[in-house]
Amino acid sequence: MESKYEAVIGLEVHAQLLTETKIFCGCSTKFGNPANTNVCPVCLGHPGVLPVLNKKVVEYAVRMGIATNCTINKKSVFARKNYFYPDLPKGYQISQFELPVCEKGFVDIVCADGTEKRLGITRIHLEEDAGKSIHDQGSETLVDVNRCGVPLIEIVSEPDMRTPEDAYLYLTKIKQLVQYLGVCDGNMEEGSLRCDANISIRPKGQKELGTKAEVKNMNSFRNVEKAIALEIERQIEIIEEGGRIVQETLLFNADTNKLASMRSKEEAHDYRYFPDPDLIPTIISEEWKKQISDSLPELPDTRKARFIEGYKLPAYDAEILTGQKELADYYECVLKETNDYKSASNWVMGEVLKTIKEEKIEISDFPVSPENLGKLINLINKNVISGKIAKDVFPVLLKDNRDPEIIVKEKNLVQITDTGAIEESVDKIISSSPNQVQEYLSGKEKVLGFFVGQIMKETKGKANPAVVNEILRNKLNTLK
């Protein structure tokens, strides 16, 4: 439906950083340890303890800032966000407020119709994660403090998105970037990447923004898209019925596919932010910034351009291959073995991705080494096996990742290019199929397919089809 409304969407993305230790103490950030074991007096908020900043955390935030074209602030300041909750041991969260570590950046997304959109990033700031409240263990609420102090970056976008698809693509881009940079594993289902959306609508053409609502608790990329679409629908309905949007926070329920109000503006917290007197301002020198910048891995856009340019791949291939760092790495490892860039791309985008999807595994767990895939491609190109045979070899490779050349030999799959052997086979078929020979001679070219099929059957598919065709035609034509 072509709506007369336009949605305005901004996202707040929290990414858990992949540091070994927490942001303000030496405790491990390891996920999945028994409850309340990754703790010390500091992250338990005991009297007298003080936070000490983990430098790696700043480095990771700066990496993301550079990758999203942000200004890296020379001086940033930690602030306390005050609120009471049992899983927040100090009664405040150490975050950044007036002076975040990065500001004013952007990312570019490519929409389904091929148009590019530039989406602004307001700021990236550092903060500590809170603990976990567990409500479903009997009547009591339990608290697990392991997650307290796990470092987070919060990436706040400008309200530049207009559709749920924009939001999906933006989020995909953020995930792609954090993974490329190695700062976060980007797993939304496990909560290492979290997303809240601010959504408002306004009549198309209107400049001023409508009243926004915030949607939380969307734990997958598709849910983000779904929840935003739902919220836009809900707001349009209210306006259409003559109502007014109330500023509130809504929770998305993935089981029921519904939004439920969590709190209204009146119930919103006054966080009483103020600079944390326990921490000195973080100073990022030009030198440090340059060091971090120099150590950045190649970013997805650059890599994509290089794939198009260097490997002469279609933009479509390059986009898919660089979509995920590990996939692009895999592809480039295949190229260490073969220089048939396009075939390698076809194999990775075809058989490899298909298998990953079917088996629901990650590329890192894909059983065929890029080396062996490259070798397989080379076997085809050197006419040792046909493309068709290669498709049969692939499942064997999946089972036991061995040198395909050995597999081909063991299974006796080497393509027959020996003209003598093929001639023999051709003669045999011609003499045993007089009717079909007559048909061919009377002009029915189509019957050629029958002969090829018979010969392939005879040679168990190993005959080189091009050679078969050539010999067959020659022999039949001499009968004319």
Partner 1 sequence: MLPYKNHQEKLNLIKSGKLSLLENVKYFLDRAEEKKDINGFNFVFKEDALKSALDIQKKIIQGNAGRLAGMVIAIKDVLALKDKQLTCSSGILKNFISLYTGTAVQKIIDEDAIIIGKTNCDQFAMGSSNENSFFGNCLNPCDLTRVPGGSSGGSAAVVAAGLCDAALGTDTGGSIRQPAAFCGIYGLKPTYGRVSRYGLTAYASSFDCIGPMTGNVDDAELILSVISGFDPKDSTSMNIEPALSGKDYEQTSKYKIGVPKEYFAEGLDTEIKLRIEEYISFLKNSGFEFVNINLPYTQYSIATYYILTTAEASSNLSRFDGARYGFRSDYEGSLADMYTHSRSEGFGEEVKRRIMLGTYVLSAGYYDAYYRKAQQVRRLFKNDFENAFKQVDLLITPTAPTSAYKLGEKSNDPLQMYLGDIYTTSANLAGIPGISIPAGVNKQNLPIGIQFMANHFQENKLINISRFIENNFKNGK
Q: Which residues bind partner 1 (CB under 8 A)?
A: 41, 44-53, 80, 82, 84, 86, 89-92, 143, 270, 272-274, 277-280
CB distance 168 to 109 below 8 Å: no
> Is residue 245 a contact partner of residue 200, using CB atoms and an 8 Å limit?
yes
Residue closer to partner 1 by CB (options 48, 434) is 48
Q: How far is the CB of 283 from partner 1 (least distance, A)?
A: 12
Q: Measured between alpha carbons, how far is 371 from 196 in angstroms, rounded to an integer?
A: 42
CA gap 153, 104 in Å, rounded: 15
We find the least distance from the C-beta atom of residue 54 to partner 1, in angstroms, to be 12
CB closer to partner 1 out of 281 and 453 = 281
Q: How far is the CB of 21 from partner 1 (least distance, A)?
A: 14
- How many whole angstroms separate alpha carbon 364 and alpha carbon 188? 18
Work out how close the CB of 130 gets to partner 1 at its nearest, in angstroms, rounded to a whole number: 13
Minimum distance from residue 83 beta carbon to partner 1 (Å) = 9
- For residue 317, give Cα distances in angstroms to 312, 322, 409, 471: 10, 8, 32, 37
Instruction: Work out how close the CB of 305 gets to partner 1 at its nearest, in angstroms, rounded to a whole number.
Output: 43
- 103 sits in the region (left: phi over 0; alpha: psi -120 to 50; else beta) called beta
Nearest to partner 1 of 51, 374 (CB atom): 51
Nearer to partner 1, 138 or 242 (CB): 138
Strands (E), 91-192: 92-96, 102-110, 116-128, 132-134, 142-144, 151-157
280 versus 466: smaller Cβ distance to partner 1: 280
Cβ 403 to partner 1, closest distance in Å?
Answer: 53
| Four-point Cα dihedral 420, 423, 424, 425, nearest 10 | 130
For the CB of residue 50, give the shortest distance to partner 1 in the complex, in Å. 5
Give the Cα separation of 419 and 415 in Å (integer): 11
- Identity of the residue, 142 or 363, whose beta carbon is nearer to partner 1 in the bound complex: 142
Helices 370-381 + 387-399 axis angle, to 10: 160
Nearest CB to partner 1, comparing residues 98 and 410: 98
Which CB, 274 or 316, lies closer to partner 1? 274
Residues in the chain: 480
Query: Least distance from C-beta 52 to partner 1, angstroms?
Result: 6
Least separation in angstroms between CB 144 and partner 1: 12
Comparison of 270 and 287: residue with beta carbon closer to partner 1: 270
Pairing of strands 213-216, 248-253: parallel
Give the phi and the psi of residue 74 in degrees, each rounded to 5.
Answer: -60, -40
Q: Which residue lies nearer to partner 1 by CB, 272 or 342?
A: 272
| Residue 102 beta carbon to partner 1: minimum distance, rounded to whole angstroms | 21
Extract the tokens encoding 63. Answer: 């990496």
Residue 349's Cα: distance from chain center in Å? 15
Q: Which residues, at least 6 apart from 361, have a Cβ–Cβ distance to it below 8 Å?
A: 355
- How much of the chain is helix, strand and coil, in % rounded to 5? 40, 20, 40
Nearer CB in complex with partner 1: 92/168: 92
C-alpha distances out from residue 83 to 86, 88, 99, 333, 336, Å: 10, 8, 20, 50, 55
